[in-house]
């Protein structure tokens, strides 16, 4: 006859196995529930993927490139109640100006490089930008000695604009084939989605931007 203690031991093992099974199920369900919430949070507040459309940022970026757009800086500024202003030279993704609705159907966002900051005077003359501000009353060329500018031969157009508060002046790197602040003026910083920081597709062109 089987000892009572042995039966009790077997029953405890079954109960323990059952508890472990339920814990594993609960853990799996938690992961399945938390993962999409975390993914949504990251996409809204931290970073997201963006695909380049068009040729306005050549040769820096090509049509079809996939980028990581960093959104944390803007959102952190908003959390702290601070005005967000990207840095000069950064490549930003922003909501397409309403004035371009009929010119770029199907495109909700544009990608350009920051040239002028709030309060600065941006002048375009004889194929070159000149920025005037408190530190540079005589003006300076924002493209000078920059890697992205090595293929820029000229910048068509004429501009003389003072960038407003909470605005930035943006321009494509492909200066002869870009709709940018030369056409639609400075943009509101609140329209900026984030800063392009990494190209991950095509894989053979993977690099920090």
Q: In sequence order, what DSSP letters do the residues of 143-161 get, joined into one string?
A: TTT-GGGGG-----S-EEE
Q: How many C-beta atoms lie closer than 10 Å to residue 175's C-beta?
A: 22
Residues ≥6 apart with Cβ < 8 Å to 173: 56, 57, 58, 59, 60, 61, 113, 148, 149, 151, 152
127 and 190 assigned to the same domain: yes
Task: For residues 164 and 76, state if they share a domain.
Answer: yes
- Does 159 lie in the same domain as 87? yes
Tokens, residue 82? 């601070």
Q: Which residue has the higher pLDDT, 10 or 61?
A: 61
Q: Residues 142-159: pLDDT tens digits?
A: 999 999 999 999 999 999
**Strands 121-125 and 159-162, sheet pairing:** antiparallel
Q: Can you give the pLDDT at residue 105?
A: 60
> Can you say how many angstroms the Cα of residue 174 is from the centroid of all Cα atoms in its chain?
19
Same domain, 32 and 86: no
Check whether residue 136 and residue 195 sit in a common domain: yes
Q: What is the pTM of this model?
A: 0.82
Same domain for 40 and 57? no
pLDDT score recorded for residue 37: 80
Q: What CATH number is associated with residue 67?
A: 2.10.109.10
Residue 204 in contact with residue 78, Cβ under 8 Å? no
Name the more confident of 18 and 96: 96
Asked if 141 and 61 sit in the same domain, the reply is yes
Whether 88 and 169 map to the same domain: the answer is yes
Structure-block tokens of residue 193 = 């989605």
> CB-based burial of residue 15 (10 Å sphere; 0-12 exposed, 13-18 middle, 19+ buried)?
exposed
111 and 13 in a common domain:
no
- Does residue 7 surpass a pLDDT of 70? no
Do 25 and 39 sit in the same domain of this protein? yes
Asked if 41 and 55 sit in the same domain, the reply is no
Number of domain units in the chain:
2
**Could you give the count of Cα atoms lying within 13 Å of 100 in the half-sphere of its Cβ?**
20
Report how far residue 56's alpha carbon sits from residue 176's, in angstroms, rounded to the nearest whole number.
Answer: 8
- Residue 187: domain span: 46-208
| Pairwise pLDDT comparison (22 vs 37), residue with the higher score | 37
Q: Please provide residue 68's backbone torsions phi and psi, each rounded to the nearest 5 degrees.
A: -100, 125
Whether 163 and 196 map to the same domain: the answer is yes
Lowest-confidence region among 43-52, 166-175, 189-198: 43-52
Tens of pLDDT along 127-140? 999 999 999 999 99
């Amino acid at each position: 006859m089987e000892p009572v203690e042995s039966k009790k031991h077997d029953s405890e093992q079954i109960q323990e196995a059952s508890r472990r099974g339920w814990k594993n199920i609960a853990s799996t369900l938690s992961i399945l529930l938390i993962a999409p919430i975390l993914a949504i949070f990251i996409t809204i507040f931290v970073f997201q993927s963006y695909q380049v459309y068009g040729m306005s940022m050549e040769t820096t970026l090509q049509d079809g490139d996939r980028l990581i757009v960093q959104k944390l800086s803007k959102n952190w500024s908003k959390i702290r109640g601070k005005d967000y202003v990207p840095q000069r030279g950064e490549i930003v993704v922003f909501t397409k100006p309403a004035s371009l609705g009929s010119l770029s159907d199907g495109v909700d966002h544009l990608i350009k490089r920051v040239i002028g900051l709030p309060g600065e005077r941006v002048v375009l003359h004889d194929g070159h930008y000149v920025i005037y501000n408190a530190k540079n009353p005589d003006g300076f060329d924002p493209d000078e000695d920059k890697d992205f500018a090595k293929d820029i031969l000229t910048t068509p157009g004429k501009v003389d604009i003072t960038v407003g508060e909470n605005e930035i002046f943006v321009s494509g790197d492909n200066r002869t084939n870009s709709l940018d602040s030369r056409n639609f003026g400075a943009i509101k910083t609140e329209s900026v989605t984030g800063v392009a920081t990494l190209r991950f597709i095509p894989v053979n062109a993977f690099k920090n931007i």
